[in-house]
Amino acid sequence: MLMTVNQATATRVDQNAVVEARQLGLTFQTNDGPVRALSDVNLTINKGEFVSFIGPSGCGKTTFLRVIADLEQPTEGKISINGMSPEQAREARAYGYVFQAAALFPWRTIESNVGLPLEIIGLPKAEQQERIKRTLDLVNLSGFEKKYPWQLSGGMQQRASIARALAFDADLLLMDEPFGALDEIVRDHLNEQLLRLWRQTNKTICFVTHSIPEAVYLSTRIVVMSPRPGRVTDVIESTLPKERPLDIRESPEFLAIAARVRDGLRAGHSYED
């Protein structure tokens, strides 16, 4: 018994590490030749962190999340999730994924969309109901249970898709520009809610965004990437407190971090030119 526990811990470099990437690289073979989407990515994401990925379009942010989610296979290097391979982690249902689009099933009501992953993992009906209600409450969608996706605005649909990922209740949440298509006000509101949720649940969140303020506002760490091939050019630790009211975005500390991110992005660009 003790042996197996030791072995299990031995394979893991860091007990706290949720995602560990070592010299990770991915090359897509396309008709116009190989495309290097990721190259030499070294990154450790610890439990309870909120990590944002920011970088110009095509720098491999989505690809990295998809590698974690076992939706793409790396061609170089290693990656482990909770000490397991991405495939094992997926089979253990270790993460929830929020896609850039809401990706709701049009033939399901909001509540049954949120309940979809719960049906799949085979939860008892009563617990399904309870989780659906709780997560819809969390994203302010109570009262819309019986509506179909087309009856909701884009922002509401995106919130429903977040509720769906939350209902799944994995400790790791992968979010690919979940608020990209939303207006500023709704986005602010969802940012606040997401932050509150993260504080309450101590989940680990990987969050892709194009917005510097969003990245700085949400994250404990910001990973700046640059394209062709997709690399990590800078990792910025946030010095902001865990408790963050929206107006923290006017504080000098916030602006200083934002400036660093912007410099990092610019450096990545000038490397190209």
Partner 1 sequence: MDRVRDRVVPVITILAVIVVAWYAFAVFMNAPFQRDLDRRAGETPTTMEFIGKTLSQPKPTMPAPHQVAQNFFENTFLRKVTSARSLVYHSWVTLSSTLLGFTFGTALGILIAVGIVHVIALDRSLMPWIIASQTIPILAVAPMIIVVLAAIGITGLIPKALISTYLSFFPVAVGMVKGLRSPDLMHLDLMHTYNASASQTFWKLRVPASVPFLFASMKVAVAASLVGAIVGELPTGAVAGIGAKLLAGSYYSQTIDMWAALVAGSVVAAMLVVLVGIVGKIVERSMGGRPA
Whether the Cβ atoms of residue 230 and residue 36 lie closer than 8 Å to each other: yes
207 near partner 1, rule: CB under 8 A: no
| Alpha-carbon 86 to chain mean position | 15
Cβ closer to Mg ion: 16 or 73?
73
Q: 17-30 and 33-46: which strand pairing? A: antiparallel
Q: How far is CA 238 from CA 43, 189, 263, 272, in A?
A: 16, 21, 15, 27
169 near partner 1, rule: CB under 8 A: no
158 near ligand ATP, rule: CB under 6 A: no
Which DSSP state fits 84?
B
154 near ligand ATP, rule: CB under 6 A: no
Contacts to ligand ATP from residues 61-100, by CB under 6 A: 61-63
Cβ closer to Mg ion: 63 or 109?
63
User: Which residue in this structure is represented by tokens 């397991």?
Assistant: 84
Closest distance to partner 1 from the beta carbon of 250 (Å): 37
> Tokens for 77?
């290097």
255 near partner 1, rule: CB under 8 A: no
Mapped onto helix, strand or coil, the DSSP state of residue 104 is: coil
Cβ closer to Mg ion: 77 or 180?
180
108 near partner 1, rule: CB under 8 A: yes
- Residues contacting partner 1: total by CB under 8 A: 26
Closest distance to ligand ATP from the beta carbon of 49 (Å): 20
Whether the Cβ atoms of residue 86 and residue 70 lie closer than 8 Å to each other: yes
| Partners of 96 in beta bridges | 173
125 near partner 1, rule: CB under 8 A: no
Answer with the entry of Mg ion, ligand ATP, partner 1, none that 37 interacts with (C-beta below 5 to 8 A by kind): ligand ATP
Answer with the entry of ligand ATP, Mg ion, partner 1, none that 28 interacts with (C-beta below 5 to 8 A by kind): ligand ATP
Contacts to Mg ion from residues 30-89, by CB under 5 A: 62
Residue 86 and residue 75: Cα distance in Å, rounded?
14
121 near partner 1, rule: CB under 8 A: yes
Cβ closer to ligand ATP: 131 or 231?
231
| Partners of 209 in beta bridges | 54
Whether the Cβ atoms of residue 215 and residue 52 lie closer than 8 Å to each other: yes
- List Cβ neighbours of 185 (8 Å cut-off, separation of 6 or more): none
* Binding positions for partner 1, rule: CB under 8 A: 69-71, 90-91, 93, 95-97, 99, 101, 103, 105-109, 116-117, 119-121, 148-150, 168
* Binding positions for ligand ATP, rule: CB under 6 A: 28, 30, 35, 37, 57-63, 230
